[in-house]
Chain A
Amino acid sequence: MPRTRNRVLDALTSLKLAIVCLVLLMVLVVACTLAQVRMGVFGAVNAYIRTFLVWWTVPGTSWTIPIFPGGGLVGLVLTANLVAAQAKRLELSVRKLGLWIVHLGLIVLFVGEFATSFFQVEMQLAVEEGKTVDYVESTRDAELVVIDTTAADHDEVYAIPEALLVPDRFIEIPGTPLFLKVNAFYKNSDLARRGPNDPPSLATMGIGPEVNVTEAEPGSGDDQPNRKAAFVEPFAGPKSYGTWLVSDVLGAPQSFIHNGRTYSLSLRRHREYLPFAMTLKKFQHDVYAGTDIPKNFSSLVEVSRPSTGEAREVLIYMNQPLRYGGKAFYQASFGKNDTLSILQVVENPGWLLPYVSCVLVALGLLVHFALGLRRSAARQKAALEA
């Protein structure tokens, strides 16, 4: 037993393993880069890098088989190798001081990338000039919301995440006598005005019967957002309120009345509410004189937090994000004739690790190569003198 354990330990700490990992990583990076042309950056990264195995679908079947280690696995093995080799093989001496620091920095970098892939959440905050927004939205996930709009001064919102929208499933709406039956859900769809030759609609109420919905392949590129759609049927006990079409591209919410309470139905981008609100005071889009080359984009926002009474103005512009409440807000995009500002909102608990790593590795390489250069220069001088 100890012998096998030693063999495993030897393999784990071997330089050969590190080299194999570096080669595999290069192959993955090349494959991921080339795949981006066809799958978009997000798709390719998920297929090759943020995965433990790279899967391949056998043509003509629905079988998928793993054919290559993914970035996660290679990164994990490389990290383990680095830690183990460091502990076991590399001597603790001034000569190797630089390498110790470099490898420590690399471990920090790998941990940072793992933290990012597991914990980073990217959302968006879109706000028009003069308006106030207290939530961020997902760019990929949708949610079905049932809103009780009866009260004049407030709404009660029940949100159902997209993942629960499975056909033929019944979903209870807590706090109400209602439940919903999902009749169909499309990850991507094309919506068009119903023509005379189109097949009958699943919807019986609201705008649905006038719309022809066809299922579409989910978009792969980064610039093609999916148009999600679902057919849902609200029930109160045995009583059905008909089947409704909901989609994130349909504008106005559709509503029905049960027991004197008005409920509206809509499918929208998944929202997360913030404990503070942002008001866009001014969005600015500067160009260089006499050209349409953008020079700067900036949003002057007021951040207000009712719980603490805090209220202050902040200017968010290119390369100058606002870090607030554990999130970072970046100027990402704009629209509606320069009156709408779109901020990218990122939450990443490991965001500082790359900074630490950069300093460590730079320092380590500097120490290592400086020591090496001194030795080499001394040798060279001796050789020239001889």
Chain B
Amino acid sequence: MRISKLIPPSAAFVAIALTAAVLLPAAKIRGFDLDRFARLPVLEGGRVKPIDSVARNSLLLIRSQQSFTWQGRTVAADEWLLDVLFRPEIADSQPVFFINDPEVLGLLGLKQTSDRYFPFRVLGPHLEKIEQQAAAAREVDSKQRTRFQGAILNLFDRIYLYYRLENTIQVKNGPRLSEEIARASDPASSERHDGLVQLAAFRLLPPPAGGKAEAWRSSGEALRAGRGAAADRGLEQLAGIADAYAKQDAALFNVGVAGFESLVALERPDALEHGRYEVLFNRAQPFYAGMVIYLLALLALFASFLWKRAILAPAAFGLLVAGALVHTAGLASRVVLQGRPPVTNLYSSAVFVGWAAVICGIFLERMYRRGIGTAVSAAAGFASLIVAHHLMGDGDTMEMMRAVLDSNFWLATHVVTITIGYSGTFLAGALAIGYAFRRQLATRIDPATTKALVSMTYGVICFALFFSFIGTVLGGIWADQSWGRFWGWDPKENGALLIVLWNALILHARFGGYVREKGIMAMAIGGNVITSLSWFGVNMLGVGLHSYGFMDGAVWTLSGFIASQLALVALCLLPPKFWKPHPAAAGTELAGGR
């Protein structure tokens, strides 16, 4: 008895300990203190973040991955960025450009092979062609673009980002930064300074301690300002780092980075601290870890149906709690790092939908103790984190909020409540899917569990109706506050309204006795269709004030999801004769179905 009580906490402990192991400091690569360099704060996209985040997001945009294999070893984003900045000749030969579109490959005179990653060196000779085609594609309205036009524009944007990164600190194939400082006052240099100012992808030089918080400078700006005057100390340090890395002198590089770091610590200690925290967050990848732990919980639970139930079922719950803790830590870190409520864009909404569903599921499990709560919340957490993982490709997931969205009050109230409404509707749908499968698979009659399942689903639908209604009306009030229209029948508003109407419909149909157990469950699965359409589908219409995010490729994924849910509705509605036969098929459980 006592040992079984220890199972959940020990399973949770093992999972969390394994997750935390990645936080241990990494070994130096070839003697270079990459870690320290990666922690340096910079200003990019309007936000102060560590170089590590810039490196990861850029590589993710260009290659759709955060690291790659080259010459038999793994190159992480930080090391790649160092080569892009200081050894462009090496970076240019690394296969980082992901190109999959056959017509784009054709334009470059390349054949579609199993290798879809190309170095800049291969693209270089075709730059003019790519630029021409991209310029033509840009003229076309984004909704009317062909697949080729979309792909060539996307490639051009990635090449341009790469080019900007290469020209952030010193001009590619031009004078080194140290030479640039030496001839800062030479009038012939000013054109290069202007080029650097224009192209810099991020700003490395912190503003002085008393200055304006956003007055970070790129090396071009510092060079321009320093013409004739004594050179900037930070700029000189940077030049030292650049030369050391170009010469592959690890000792000198490490000294330079440490010196630069102490300079930043003097002027912007808070930014340095923030950078450290964000690097930890990047490295821990809490949402990826959470996804894996949820999957393990799910597998443990399924295994428990067949074998050693007494050990595996509590272990599954322990893993679920561990997953929830890691997920919560990740969510909390994002809130702290960004200084915003948890939901600010599509990516974070996916993270939050899963989190809220998992928390509700844990409560259900504590209330009903039948393993159902564990199953659906592990499944919901896993699924939503997979969705979030695929929404990451847009670059920085903590981007700045556009003017009208720049309101922590409304983000915290409207956005959070409506997202909890999505969670609730999905959770009810997940419970109902569990019900439908149970009908087909259960080996013994267990009316008590069926009853618990039905009552959980009903409770969750009530919960979902509450949050989606309040969220929807709060959205209306926000709209009234920001453009004087409480309700504009905008697609996103309509989507939210549909969720409210659907949940209200289920409750009223149940109250009137028009649907019973099976009908309620089928309608709850239908809720998944409506919520997914409201969450993602309306963004694909490209109308209205709420349409954000590019969603071209996602149309098929969404259609597939909806088809699967409709199939599950059909499965749920199958008449009793198709259910798994039981010895006592006329039992009480079946009488409830209609």
| Chain A residues within an 8 Å CB radius of B470 | 358, 361-362, 365
A277-315 vs B: 1/0 string, CB under 8 Å?
000000000011111011111000000000000000000
CA distance A44 to B484 in the complex (A): 20
Judge whether B474 and A358 touch: CB under 8 Å.
yes
Contact status B508-A358, CB under 8 Å: no
- Is B216 an interface residue, CB under 8 A from the partner? yes
B133 at the interface (CB under 8 A from A): no
Taking a contact as CB atoms under 8 Å apart, the answer to whether B403 and A376 are in contact is no
- How many Å from the CB of B417 to the closest CB on chain A? 10
**B542 to chain A: which residues have CB within 8 Å?**
37
Interface centre among B448, B481, B484 (most CB of A within 10 A): B484
* A 85-111 to B, binary, CB cutoff 8 A, 1 in contact else 0: 000000000000000000000000100
Partner of B541, one of A37, A116, A369: A37
Tell me whether A294 and B484 are in contact (CB under 8 A). Answer: no
Q: Report if A366-B466 is in contact (Cβ < 8 Å); known contacts: A295-B403, A319-B410.
A: yes
Q: Enumerate chain A residues within 8 angstroms of B186, measured Cβ to Cβ.
A: none
B64-72, B229-237, B386-394, B491-499 - interface stretch = B491-499
B505 on interface, CB distance cutoff 8 Å: yes
Chain A residues contacting B216 (CB-CB under 8 Å) are: 289-290
Asked if B45 CB lies within 8 Å of chain A CBs, one says yes
Q: Is B407 an interface residue (CB 8 A)?
A: yes
Which residues of B404-433 are within 8 A (CB) of A? 404, 406-407, 410
Residues of A in contact with B, size category? 35 or more
Is B43 an interface residue, CB under 8 A from the partner?
Answer: yes
A112: which of B214, B486, B501 is its contact (CB, 8 Å)? B486
B214: nearest residue on chain A (CB-CB)? Answer: A289
| Nearest chain A residue, comparing its CB with the CB of B485 | A346
> Contacts A290-B43, A290-B44, A354-B473 known; A330 to B483 CB distance under 8 Å?
yes
Query: Which residues of the other chain, A, contact B485 by a CB distance below 8 angstroms?
Result: 122, 346
Q: For residue A330, which residues in chain B have a CB less than 8 angstroms away from its CB?
A: 482-484
B220 to chain A, nearest CB (A): 12
A377 near B367 with CB under 8 A, answer: yes
| Minimum CB–CB distance for A10 against chain B, Å | 14
A173 to chain B, nearest CB (A): 35
With A33-B495, A288-B46, A372-B462 in contact, is A23–B505 under 8 Å at CB? Answer: yes
The stretch of A13-21, A60-68, A228-236, A240-248 that contacts the partner chain:
A13-21
Given contacts A22-B504, A288-B46, A383-B448, contact A37 B543 (CB under 8 A): yes
The answer on a CB contact under 8 Å between B45 and A297 is: no
Contact B490 A19 (CB under 8 A): no
- B502 lies within 8 A of A26 (CB): yes
Residues in B with CB closer than 8 Å to A112 are 486
**Are B484 and A36 in contact, with the CB atoms below 8 A?**
no
Question: B466 to A358, Cβ gap below 8 A?
Answer: no
- Looking at chain B's contact residues, is the secondary structure mostly helix, strand, loop, or mixed? helix
Q: Which residues, 450 to 502 on B, are CB-close (under 8 Å) to A? A: 452, 455, 459, 462-463, 465-466, 469-470, 473-474, 476-478, 480-491, 494-495, 497-498, 501-502
B367 contacts across to A, CB distance below 8 A: 377, 380
Q: When each residue 18-32 of chain A gets 1 if its CB lies under 8 Å from chain B and 0 otherwise, what string results?
A: 110011011001101
A317 CB to closest chain B CB (Å) equals 9
* Interface membership of B307, Cβ < 8 A: no
Measured between beta carbons, the chain B residues less than 8 angstroms from A320 are 481
Question: Is A22 a contact partner of B46 (Cβ separation < 8 A)?
Answer: no
Does any Cβ of B come within 8 Å of A209's Cβ?
no
B368 in the interface, Cβ–Cβ < 8 Å?
yes
Residues of B within 8 A of A295 (CB): 46, 400, 403, 406
**Stretch of B187-195, B509-517, B569-577 on the interface side:** B509-517
What residues of chain A lie closer than 8 Å to B455, measured between beta carbons?
A: 376, 380
CB distance from B551 to the nearest CB of A (A): 14
The reply to whether B46 and A365 form a contact with Cβ atoms under 8 Å apart is no
Contact B487 A116 (CB under 8 A): yes
Taking a contact as CB atoms under 8 Å apart, the answer to whether A19 and B459 are in contact is no
Q: Closest residue to B538 on the A side, CB-wise?
A: A33
Do B400 and A288 have beta carbons less than 8 Å apart?
A: yes
**Which residue, of A22, A361, A372, has the highest number of chain B Cβ atoms within 10 A?**
A22
Chain B residues within 8 Å of A29, by CB:
489, 494, 497-498, 501
- Which residues on the A side are within 8 Å of B368 (C-beta)? 380
Query: Is B336 on the interface with A (CB-CB < 8 A)?
Result: no
Please determine whether B494 and A32 come into contact, CB atoms closer than 8 angstroms.
yes
- CB–CB A291/B484 < 8 A: no
- A351's partner among B45, B469, B486, B494 (CB-CB below 8 A) is B486
**Interface membership of B2, Cβ < 8 A:** no
Contact A116 B486, beta carbon cutoff 8 Å = yes
Q: Is the CB of A41 within 8 A of B498?
A: no
Q: How far is the CA of A376 from the CA of B404 in the complex (A)?
A: 43
Q: Report if A226 contacts B (CB, 8 A).
A: no
Does B402 interact with chain A (Cβ within 8 Å)? yes
Q: Is A30's CB under 8 angstroms from B498's CB?
A: yes
A56 within 8 Å of B (CB atoms): no
Residues in B neighbouring A346, C-beta threshold 8 A: 484-485
How many Å from the CB of B552 to the closest CB on chain A? 16
Q: Are A293 and B45 in contact (CB under 8 A)?
A: yes
Tell yes or no: A180 within 8 A of B by CB. Answer: no
Whether A36 contacts B474 in the complex (CB less than 8 A), given A15-B511, A289-B46, A319-B481, comes out as: no
Q: How far is the CA of A332 from the CA of B403 in the complex (A)?
A: 11
Chain B 305-326 interface mask (CB, 8 Å, partner A; 1/0) = 0000000000000000000000
Bound CA–CA A332/B479 (angstroms): 12
Task: State A36–B493 Cα separation when bound (angstroms).
Answer: 13
What is the distance, in angstroms, from A63's C-beta to the closest C-beta of chain B? 27
Give chain A interface residues in 177-214, CB to chain B under 8 Å: none
Is A344 in the interface zone, CB < 8 Å from B?
yes
A293 and B400 contact, CB distance less than 8 A: yes
Residues of B within 8 A of A (CB): 43-47, 202-203, 214-216, 367-369, 399-400, 402-404, 406-407, 410, 448, 452, 455, 459, 462-463, 465-466, 469-470, 473-474, 476-478, 480-491, 494-495, 497-498, 501-502, 504-505, 508-509, 511-512, 514, 538, 541-544
The 3 closest A-B pairs by CB, nearest first: A288-B46, A346-B484, A289-B214
Q: List 14 A-B contacts (CB under 8 A).
A: A19-B512, A33-B538, A37-B542, A45-B488, A289-B214, A291-B400, A296-B406, A318-B406, A330-B484, A332-B483, A348-B486, A354-B473, A376-B455, A376-B459
